Amino acid sequence: MSERVLSGAVWRDFTGALEKLESLVLAADVPARPQDRAEGWRYLLRFLGSGIHVVIPAGDPDYPEFCRMIQNGMSWGLDNPDCNYSWARIRGDASYRIGGKRGSARHLEFQVNTGHFGDGNVGGWRTVSSIHGRELQAAEDGSFEITLSPEPHDGNWMKLDPDASFVLLRQYMSDWENERPADLFIERIDAEYPQPALTPDRIEARMDELVTWLSAGARSWENMSRLILATPANQVAMTEPLEGNAGLRGQSYGLGHYECAPGEAVIVELTPPDCLMWSLQLSGWFWESMEFGARQSSLNGSQAELDSDGVFRGVIAHEDPGVPNWIDPEHHASGTIGIRYLFPDRVEQPTFRTVPASSVRDELPPGTRAVTPAERRDVLERRRRAVQLRYRY
C-alpha cells in the first residue's frame, strides 16, 4: 500500500508541481501586457483542467472512457479549431471494443499511439495503428464496431503492441453548423463487473502522471511554441503529408509565426490544393488557439471565400477590414500560425505580405465583397452557436 497516499505526500508533490508552473507566465521574456498576463493564468488553468480530466477519470486502461481532452475553453498544444479531440487510455496486452454511430464529421480517425501527451517526449511517440472514416466498415445507419487487439480480427481491426498506451480520436468538422460528432463508447473486452474500488496504488500512479503532465508536458509545449516564434516572421513551410508519430495520417502541416503591428495588415495568399479539407488558424504565445467561437481567428475551406482566380486571400488585421476573410489576431501583434491540408493532391506553399491597414482594399481584387458590421456580428454569433453545439455540453 502506498505510504505517499496515506501521508499526503502525493498531494504535496502535485501542489509543488503546480506552484512551479507560474514561471511559464512570469519569466522575464514572456509578454506581460495585462491581456497577456490574464491569458497566461487562464492557460495554466486550462492546461491543469485538461490534465486532470485526461489523467484522473479517464486514466484507467481497464475501464477506459473517451474524454474530450481539448476544446474551445480548454485549449493547448496548437489545437485545431475544426477538430474534436478525444482520448482513451488502454494497454497493449488487453483487447478492446469501440462502438457507436459514425456521425457526420468531414473526417475522423482513430489512432493507437505509444507514450502520453503529458510525458513531454513528443519525438518519442509512435503510431501503432489507425483507421479513418473512409476505411471504416459501417452499417447503413452509421453504426460500427472496431476491435483493438494484439491478434488480427475480422472486420474493423486496430493492432495493439506491447507499448500501445492510448487511443486518440480526431473528428474534423468543416461545416461547423451542420456536421456533428460520432456517438461512441469504448470498453475492455472481458472486463470484470462491478468495477473494483479505487486503491491507493492506482490513485498514486495517476497523480504522479498528472505531475508529469504539469512539468515535462507543460515545458514541452512551451519549448515548441518558443521554437516556432523564433523562426522568421510571416513565413510558413508546409510539410509533406504525415504517416505516423501521432500526427494525423495524410495531413500536411505548416507552422510559423506572424507579426502584425497596429496599423498594419498581413495578407496571406494560397491556392488551396484539391483536398478533403484545409484550414488556417492563429494561436498565441502559449500555443493555445485564439478564441475561435466568438472571434474569427481561424478559417477553413467551408468558411473562407476564394477569389475568382481560385486564390484564398486572408487578412490578419487588428481592426475589422470589412472583408470576408478577416483573420482576427485578438490584439496580439505576434503569435503562431498553423495551416493544414488533409489528403492534398499537392502541397501548396503560402505567401505573406505586410501592408498598411488603411490600404487593404487596394491590395485585394476589385470584386472582394464588403462585410458590414451587422453581417460580421451575424457570422460570429453563428460561429459561437455552432461551436457550442459541436462540443455539446
Assess whether 279 and 314 both reside in one domain. yes
Assess whether 203 and 139 both reside in one domain. yes
Is residue 121 scored above 90 in pLDDT? Answer: no
Assess whether 155 and 299 both reside in one domain. no
* Torsion over CA: 137, 141, 147, 152 (sign): negative
Domain of 53 in residue numbering reads as 3-220
Domain termination residue (choose one: 174, 195, 220): 220
Assess whether 216 and 282 both reside in one domain. no
Domain termination residue (choose one: 194, 220, 246): 220
Q: Is residue 358 part of a domain?
A: yes
Structural domain total, the chain = 2
Q: Is residue 283 part of a domain?
A: yes
Dihedrals phi, psi of 240, to nearest 5 degrees: -70, 155
Percentage of residues of the chain with pLDDT beyond 90: 92
Q: Is residue 225 part of a domain?
A: no
Domain termination residue (choose one: 200, 220, 240): 220
Can you tell me the distance from the alpha carbon of 96 to that of 131, in angstroms, rounded to the nearest whole number? 15
pLDDT tens figures, 78-112: 899 999 999 999 999 999 999 999 999 999 999 99
Assess whether 164 and 35 both reside in one domain. yes
Q: Is residue 226 part of a domain?
A: no
Assess whether 210 and 252 both reside in one domain. no
- Number of CB atoms found within 10 A of residue 161's CB: 13
Assess whether 191 and 244 both reside in one domain. no
What does pLDDT average to over the chain? 95
Assess whether 159 and 35 both reside in one domain. yes
pLDDT at 123: 81
Is residue 273 scored above 90 in pLDDT? Answer: yes
pLDDT at 122: 82
Report the DSSP pairing between strands 326-327 and 312-317: parallel
Q: How far is CA 289 from CA 19, 126, 170, in A?
A: 24, 25, 16
Q: Is residue 211 part of a domain?
A: yes
Is residue 117 very low, low, confident or very high in pLDDT (cuts 50, 70, 90)? confident
Assess whether 196 and 65 both reside in one domain. yes
pLDDT tens figures, 139-197: 999 999 999 999 999 999 999 999 999 999 999 999 999 999 999 999 999 999 999 99
Can you tell me the distance from the alpha carbon of 120 to that of 226, in angstroms, rounded to the nearest whole number? 15
For residue 387, the surrounding DSSP H or E stretch is helix 373-391
- Residue of 181, 390, 178 whose CA lies nearest to 292: 390
pLDDT at 45: 96
pLDDT tens figures, 363-390: 999 999 999 999 999 999 999 999 999 9
Assess whether 239 and 262 both reside in one domain. yes
pLDDT tens figures, 307-365: 999 999 999 999 999 999 999 999 999 999 999 999 999 999 999 999 999 999 999 99
Assess whether 196 and 332 both reside in one domain. no
Q: Is residue 40 part of a domain?
A: yes
- Number of CB atoms found within 10 A of residue 51's CB: 22
What's the predicted TM-score (pTM) here? 0.95
CATH label of the domain that carries residue 336: 2.60.120.1600
Dihedrals phi, psi of 162, to nearest 5 degrees: -60, -25
For residue 287 the three cell numbers come to: 500555443
pLDDT tens figures, 62-79: 999 999 999 888 999 989
- Residue of 7, 54, 335 whose CA lies nearest to 167: 54
Assess whether 237 and 194 both reside in one domain. no
